[in-house]
Chain A
Amino acid sequence: MVHKHELIRIAPFVYEIPADYRPKMRVPARIYANDEILEMALGDRSVEQLINTATLPGVVRYALAMPDVHQGYGFPIGGVAATLLPDGIISPGGVGYDINCGVRLLATSIEAEALRPHMDRLMNTLFKNVASGVGAAGGLRLENKTLRAVLEEGAKWAVRQGYGIQEDLEHTEDGGCMTAANASALSPRALERGRDQVGTLGSGNHFLEVDEIVEVYDEALAEALGLVRGRACVWIHCGSRGLGHQVCTDAVRLMQQSVKKYNLDLPDRELVCAPFHSPEGQQYFQAMACAANYAWANRQVITHLVRRSFEEALAGRLPVGELRQVYDVCHNIAKVERHPVDGKTVELCVHRKGATRAFGPGRPEVPRAYRAVGQPVLIPGSMGTSSYILVGTEKAMQDTFGSSCHGAGRVWSRAQSKRSIRGEELKAELERADILVRTDSLSGLAEEAPEAYKDVEQVVNVVHQAGIARKVARTRPLGVIKG
């Protein structure tokens, strides 16, 4: 158990646990937090898990926890750790089971006030067209050849099939396709689980929201991102579904042997890993890239269904115009990136588990349209609360391997949520606040109650004030589909 007095405040909103705090730590552990968030982080096992990641072979500079940090398994959720290539490791536990769980934001030219009278109809149409819930299957059943194309081409496959436009790809992290993908690296079981889930939200904390842009913090940045106060926008949060889960299960199982083979000393078996360039490391990386591509194809097909739903629901009522993709970010991923370490720019394997890439201005990975201002960073809040759009900064490039937080971060267990909140009451409460809710699972709704999460405003203010992302705009929900 780590105590607050053992942490060193090294800068405003940055606390450090030195590398000599526990034997076998190779680097310090750093937490981005204010006082209240720090207390919450110390209230569960997330800091212990962060310290565990600081022992990984090849880890450089420090293991990082973002202000939405909370207890996971292996890495904490909200964790970032980078290993030095070519010798460093890759860990499936540093990515998690929902590979490329991520968020996409679509901006509309529709005024929220004009949309409000039609929200009931729009939400019903979205709920009908976008499959959600436990084990939901979509309208697509992919044969081997098509599934392989999805896995190796990601959102590009979807756009080629007519499920989007070229600009969608340009406004997606990695263009919606990790080129390392190799479908041969997947088990038959993973392939089977991926056949019918493209275009589905899934369950848990996944959602589809129609929001209003209610506040703009920086007019110039908002203009660069095409965000206008008072207009409606759409958030899509989901991942790689059963296929991604199976890829992680397979890799964690396979790498139990790697620990012995490569003589790795780990504090937790869920942190299993292999040298990045080893056969096991490459097999996982190629399979993980396939799952990431599957998730991008999934969000791309959902984007198509959202656009179609707007047209279907609003035809003859409101001009729909274009639903323009602002950006799409991953939350759970391992990437090969170049960052400064000890004054030299080197190649790293950056693990982000419940963390968002937040590249600053000028980086070639940032779409041309945003290169002058930095990569959009999309931070959804808990259900019924605000969500935020930020941009990455040069300080993030220097201090956090170009990373920021990914959401509000849980504080209550799911059991506590269900004990404290009744789904029916929560739905009624949200609807009294003019937020329409569509869900197949009222108990699932209770698990995702706003009270179960940290105050997203505090979380976002920490990354903004620490300078690792910059606030652009805030949105508020008009309607929520809870997966």
Chain B
Amino acid sequence: MGQEALPPFEEIPHTADLALRVRSADWPALLLHAAQGLFYLLRCEARGPAAPVSREITLEADDPETLLVDWLNELIYLSETHHELYTAFAFTHLTWTHLHATVQGWDHHPPQKYIKAATFFDLKLLSTAAGYEVTITFDV
């Protein structure tokens, strides 16, 4: 089976916490798929009439893995504290170590699953024949 047949993200078994395997053809898509996977795990649900929201995120890191963890932790923080679901992620500036993004979604959508943080456990950005792959462990 070719890499293109594999899903952009999938939940993989972890005894105590949650883990996602994320795949993509390129770096922007990896960050996008990781964000989509995160919101799949968070299960944000409407609790009242929802209005559209938009937030700006700027991050700087020393390496791509740290940028990925920072990106996910920023989304966890924003979603948890503002009770928001984000469904659209646009990168206005992106390198391996710098990110500026506009994320859009809906308010009054608190997460139904609590995730404390994305961790660095065994975090390695792997090059594959079809692009990139990474496994992210989340503390819950």
Interface check B80, CB cutoff 8 A: yes
Residues of B within 8 A of A413 (CB): 13-15
Residues of B within 8 A of A97 (CB): 116-117, 139
Interface check B16, CB cutoff 8 A: yes
Shortest beta-carbon distance from B35 to chain A in Å: 17
Residues of B within 8 A of A98 (CB): 116, 139
Interface check B81, CB cutoff 8 A: yes
Is B17 in contact with A270, judged by CB distance below 8 angstroms? no
Is A72 in contact with B110, judged by CB distance below 8 angstroms? no
Is A135 in contact with B80, judged by CB distance below 8 angstroms? yes
Q: Give Cα A21–Cα B18 distance, bound, in whole angstroms.
A: 29
Is B121 in contact with A268, judged by CB distance below 8 angstroms? yes
Q: Given A242-B80, A410-B15, does the pair A135, B110 have CB atoms closer than 8 Å?
A: yes
Interface check A445, CB cutoff 8 A: no
Is B111 in contact with A135, judged by CB distance below 8 angstroms? yes
Q: Of the 9-residue stretches A148-156, A252-260, A318-326, A367-375, which lies at the interface with chain B?
A: A252-260
Interface check A170, CB cutoff 8 A: no
Q: Give Cα A135–Cα B13 distance, bound, in whole angstroms.
A: 25
Is A269 in contact with B14, judged by CB distance below 8 angstroms? no
Within 8 A of A (CB), among B98-135: 110-114, 116-117, 119-123
Interface size in chain A (residues, C-beta < 8 A): 42
Q: Is the interface of B mostly helix, strand, loop or mixed?
A: loop
Residues of A within 8 A of B111 (CB): 134-135
Q: Give Cα A256–Cα B83 distance, bound, in whole angstroms.
A: 29
Is B117 in contact with A245, judged by CB distance below 8 angstroms? yes
Within 8 A of B (CB), among A96-141: 96-98, 134-135
Interface check B73, CB cutoff 8 A: yes
Is B14 in contact with A134, judged by CB distance below 8 angstroms? no
Shortest beta-carbon distance from B136 to chain A in Å: 10
Q: Give Cα A146–Cα B5 distance, bound, in whole angstroms.
A: 55
Q: Give Cα A415–Cα B40 distance, bound, in whole angstroms.
A: 13
Q: Give Cα A204–Cα B69 distance, bound, in whole angstroms.
A: 22
Q: Give Cα A256–Cα B66 distance, bound, in whole angstroms.
A: 9
Interface check B137, CB cutoff 8 A: yes
Is B65 in contact with A415, judged by CB distance below 8 angstroms? no
Interface check A304, CB cutoff 8 A: no
Residues of B within 8 A of A444 (CB): 113
Q: Give Cα A414–Cα B140 distance, bound, in whole angstroms.
A: 10
Is A202 in contact with B117, judged by CB distance below 8 angstroms? no
Chain A: CB-nearest residue to B80? A135
Task: Among A248, A269, A416, point to the contact of B117 (Cβ < 8 A).
Answer: A248
Interface check A34, CB cutoff 8 A: no
Q: Given A135-B83, A204-B140, does the pair A73, B11 have CB atoms closer than 8 Å?
A: no
Shortest beta-carbon distance from B37 to chain A in Å: 13
Interface check A193, CB cutoff 8 A: yes
Is B15 in contact with A70, judged by CB distance below 8 angstroms? yes
Residues of B within 8 A of A311 (CB): none
Q: Give Cα A248–Cα B73 distance, bound, in whole angstroms.
A: 12
Interface check A71, CB cutoff 8 A: yes
Within 8 A of A (CB), among B1-48: 11, 13-18
Q: Give Cα A249–Cα B120 distance, bound, in whole angstroms.
A: 10
Shortest beta-carbon distance from A291 to chain B in Å: 12
Is A70 in contact with B16, judged by CB distance below 8 angstroms? yes
Interface residues of B (CB under 8 A from A): 11, 13-18, 62, 65-66, 69-70, 73, 77, 80-81, 83, 110-114, 116-117, 119-123, 137, 139-140
Beyond A193-B77, A270-B119, A415-B18, 20 additional contacts (C-beta under 8 Å) are A44-B15, A71-B15, A71-B16, A71-B17, A72-B16, A73-B139, A74-B120, A97-B139, A135-B80, A242-B80, A248-B117, A249-B117, A256-B120, A268-B121, A269-B65, A272-B120, A413-B13, A413-B15, A416-B13, A444-B113
Top 9 A-B pairs, shortest CB-CB distance: A73-B121, A269-B120, A97-B116, A245-B116, A270-B121, A73-B119, A71-B15, A413-B13, A203-B114
